[in-house]
Chain A
Amino acid sequence: MSDAVLTIENLAIALPKGADRPLAVAGVNLELHAGKVTCLIGESGSGKSLVARAILGLLPAPHVRVADGRILFEGADLARAKPAEMRAIRGARIAMIFQEPMTALNPLHTIGRQIDEVLRIHTSLPRAQRLARVVELLESVNLPEPARMLRSFPHQLSGGQRQRAMIAMALALKPRLLIADEPTTALDVTTQAQILQLIRDLQREHGTAVLFITHDFGVVADIADSVAVLQKGDLVEQGSAAQVLGRPVHAYTQALIAAVPKLAAPAAQPPSTAPFILQARDVEKTYGARGLFGGNATKALNRVCIELRRGETLGLVGESGSGKSTLARAVTRLMTVNDGEILISGRDIARMTRSQLRPMRKRVQMVFQDPYGSLDPRQRVVDIIAEGPIIHGTDPQAARKEACELLALVGLDPSAAQRFAHEFSGGQRQRIGIARALALRPELLVADEPVSALDVSVQAQVLALLADIKTRLQLSMLFVTHDLRVALQVCDRIAVMQKGEVVEVAPTSAIYGNPQHPYTKALFAAVPGAHWQDRLTQETMAS
Chain B
Amino acid sequence: MSYLELAGLQKRYGGSVAVDDVSLSVAKGESVALLGPSGCGKTTTLRMLAGLIAPDRGTIRVDGAEITRLPAHKRNMGYVFQSYALFPHLSVARNVAFGLEERGIAKTEIARQVEEGLALVRLDGLGGRRPRELSGGQQQRVALARALVIHPSVLLLDESLSNLDAKLRDTMRHEIRSIQRSLGITTLFVTHDQVEALTMCDRIAVMNRGRIAQIGTAEDIYERPTTRFVAEFVGRANALPATRNSDGKVLLWGAAQPVAAPAQGEFDLFVRPQRMRIVPASEPAGGETVRVTGRVLRSVFVGDHVEVLVEGAGGQLAVEMPSGTPAPAEGAEVAVIWQARDSLPFAREAA
Say whether A and B bind each other.
no
